[in-house]
Structure 1
Amino acid sequence: MNIKEYVYVSLLTAVAVVMGIIENMFPPFFAFAPGAKIGLANLVMIIAIFTLNWRKVWVMEILRLLITALFTGFSVFLYSFAGGILSLLAMYLMKQFGPKLVSLIGISVVGGFFHNFGQLVVAAFLAKAASVMLYLPWLAFFGMLAGFAIGIGGNQLITRVKPIQELFIKESKQWT
Structure 2
Amino acid sequence: MNVKENIYIALLTAVAVVMGIFESWIPSFFAFAPGAKIGLANLVMIIAIFTLDWRKVWTMQVLRLLITALFTGVSVVIYSAAGAILSLLAMYLMKQLGPKWVSLIGISVVGGFFHNLGQLLVASFITGTSSVMLYLPWLSFFGMLAGFAIGVGGNQIIQRVAPIQLLFIKESKKWT
Aligned-pair distance for 1:3? 1.3
Aligned-pair distance for 1:162? 4.8
Q: Which consecutive residues of structure 2, in runs of 5 or more, have no partner in the other structure?
A: 172-176
CA distance in 2, matches of 1:11, 1:160: 18
Equivalenced residue count is 171
The amino acid that maps onto 2:56 is K
Does the 8 A contact of 1:53 with 1:173 survive in 2? no
Aligned-pair distance for 1:165? 6.4
Aligned-pair distance for 1:172? 6.1
- Determine what percentage of the aligned residue pairs are the same residue: 77
The amino acid that maps onto 1:149 is A
CA distance in 1, matches of 2:4, 2:43: 22
Aligned-pair distance for 1:164? 4.4
The amino acid that maps onto 1:20 is G
Higher relative contact order (CA 8 A, sep 6+): 1
Residues 1:107 and 1:162: Cα distance change in structure 2 (over 3 Å): farther
Q: How does 1:91-110 map to 2 (within 5 A)?
A: 91-110=91-110
Q: Superposition RMSD on alpha carbons, in Å? A: 1.5
Does the 8 A contact of 1:109 with 1:144 survive in 2? yes
How does the TM-score come out when normalised to structure 1? 0.93
Aligned-pair distance for 1:158? 0.8
Residue deviations 1:79-116, cap 9 Å, x none? 00000000000000000011111001100000000000
How does the TM-score come out when normalised to structure 2? 0.93
Q: 1:8 aligned to 2:8?
A: yes
Identify the residue that residue 174 of structure 2 maps to in structure 1.
none
Identify the residue that residue 157 of structure 1 maps to in structure 2.
157
